[in-house]
Amino acid sequence: MQALVHALAAHPLAALVPMIVAAWLVAGVAWAVARRGHVRLALLWALATAGGGSLNTLIKHAFARVRPDALHGYAYADGFSFPSGHAAGAMAVYGMLGYLALRLSPPRWHWPALLAASAIIATVGWSRVALQVHYASDVLAAWGATGAWLAGCVGLGGQCCRPAPRVIP
């Protein structure tokens, strides 16, 4: 089984699959949000998720930190270690999904949506350290940088994506 996983991972197109899946996810959520009449929130979603990924790439190349030595054969990762791309991606995607849930869902769904997003973000970060493909500082830095980016995006969303005031005749 391990040989099959390594053979599939070595395929030249293997690196494109996660990017294609992520692009479809971002486009699908943007379409669903825009279809409900929230075009600015859809654009904010696309900006926040794409910007979070770009920020992570810039930081990775600025620091160029090597990965820890894995003491097992369960996971293999290449590229730079700092900050964790998986942790940053989880923070960007699920953090913004939590924000969209706060903006668009009934109040009774706010806490469950935030708890689910937080649990997924924490689980992804923990798994990167447990698999020994990142140091804990890689994950914490990813959460911090992406969290700051999302805070700016949410602030922008509060300014440009306010609901129209209700006019009572």
pLDDT digits (tens, 9 = 90+) for 82-118: 888 788 888 899 999 999 888 888 889 999 999 999 9
Distance between CA 98 and CA 115 in Å, rounded? 9
Residue 64: phi and psi, rounded to 5, are 50, 45
Name the more confident of 129 and 110: 110
Rg for the chain, CA atoms, rounded: 18
Q: Would you state the pLDDT for residue 162? A: 66
- Over residues 117-140, mean pLDDT: 85
Maximum C-alpha span of the chain: 70
- Give 167's pLDDT tier (boundaries 50, 70, 90): low
Delimit the domains of the chain by residue range.
Answer: 15-160
For residue range 23-77, what is the model confidence (pLDDT) as tens digits? Answer: 888 888 888 888 888 888 888 888 888 888 878 778 777 776 666 676 666 666 6
Number of residues that make up the chain = 169
Q: In degrees, to the nearest 5, what angle opens at C-alpha 96 toward C-alphas 93 and 97?
A: 80
CA distances from 60 to 71, 77, 108, 146, 169 (A): 23, 14, 39, 13, 55
- Over residues 138-142, mean pLDDT: 88
Distance between CA 126 and CA 76 in Å, rounded? 16
